[in-house]
Amino acid sequence: MPINTDKPQIWKADIAKSVDFYNDWFMKFAPKAYRTTRVSTTKEVESALRLTQNLKDISPDVLRVNPTVLPMLRMATAPPIARDRLIGLAGVAPNLVRSMEKGKRIPPQMQKGLLDSELVKIGQTIMKLADQDIFTWLKPKRSPSADEIHRAATIVADRLCGAVADPIIRNAQEQRQLATIKDWLLDRGYRYVESRHLKLDGLSTGTFSFRFNVPVKQPGRSKQVNVPIDTVIMPQRAKDGDLPVLIEAKSAGDFTNTNKRRKEEATKVTQLRATYGDKVKFVLFLCGYFDSGYLGYEAAEGIDWVWEHRIDDLKQLGL
């Protein structure tokens, strides 16, 4: 029995309520989430400044031992530069910069002579562009005060957080959505269990778990891969052989990105059905900006959803 896919007459009203729900949360809690992240990022920047002697030493030795300082260094320039811009300006190998930033390490196979040469270019580029208005101690070549260091670190941290503001908010929203599901289930007598050592068919009735890796088949391949599922729930009245309910939490702060991401769910549910059959119960838990185009696409793929502002619809899944 469909929950929302067969009710297009109420989609528009639900969209409006969902947008209001998200905006209300954003105005109340997003600034706090951003500030909390900025405080922790400021401490990380201060640590990175210590490692580089307050930006006076960006030598290959320092970068080789502390590759994680590179994102901070990019935000310490005027103007701040993106990762690919640094690669172009310094004329260095893309895999070096990406390994330092994404892998948080130096490429293990890179020959030392070439590595040092590339790291010198990175250091020189950063120093040429260093923001003298923030790092006021560089040009007169003096030691900065503690207040100057903290002020500079705060500005750089703000730039770092600004570059990843959307992920910060999305992470906070996802945590809140999962907490909402957890509270709803606990109120109804369900029990939370850790997912690390569980298999899909190993959940006991009346239990649920988060961040669950479900093995699925890939088209044309014999090897299985794991797909992450936000929430798995084994109904209290489940029978032997029944599969748990699978829920994917989704939130969006604008209508644009949802249409870019909608194919992800379609691919995931196709893999689940190919592996476990058409009886798989996979639904979305939506909050925010999901328009009729998005909903129609998901409905056409046979994917149902529950709105967070009407969470009691989870009962229709046998929960």
pLDDT tens column, 50-89: 999 999 999 999 999 999 999 999 999 999 999 999 999 9
Q: What is the mean pLDDT of residues 98-114?
A: 91
CATH 3.40.1350.10 given to domain 8-30+166-317: yes
Name 246's Cβ contacts closer than 8 Å, sequence gap at least 6.
214, 229, 231, 232, 272, 280, 281, 282, 283
End-to-end Cα spacing for the chain? 14
Q: What is the pTM of this model?
A: 0.70
- Which of 159, 197, 141, 25 has its CA nearest to residue 79? 159
**Quick one: pLDDT at residue 282?**
93
Per-residue confidence at 197, pLDDT binned at 50, 70, 90?
A: low
Give start-end residues of each CATH 3.40.1350.10 domain in the chain. 8-30+166-317
**Quick one: pLDDT at residue 260?**
67
Could you identify the residue written with the tokens 């070439």? 114
Per-residue confidence at 160, pLDDT binned at 50, 70, 90?
A: confident
Q: Do residues 18 and 288 touch, judged by C-beta distance below 8 A?
A: yes
- Which of 50, 24, 55 has its CA nearest to residue 138? 55
pLDDT tens column, 269-298: 888 888 888 888 999 999 998 989 899 999
pLDDT tens column, 27-53: 888 788 788 888 888 999 999 999 999
Q: Above 70 in pLDDT, residue 236?
A: yes
Give the full edge-to-edge strand order of the sheet including 245-252.
191-192, 207-216, 225-234, 245-252, 281-288, 304-307
pLDDT tens column, 123-153: 999 999 999 888 989 988 899 999 899 999 9
**Quick one: pLDDT at residue 127?**
94
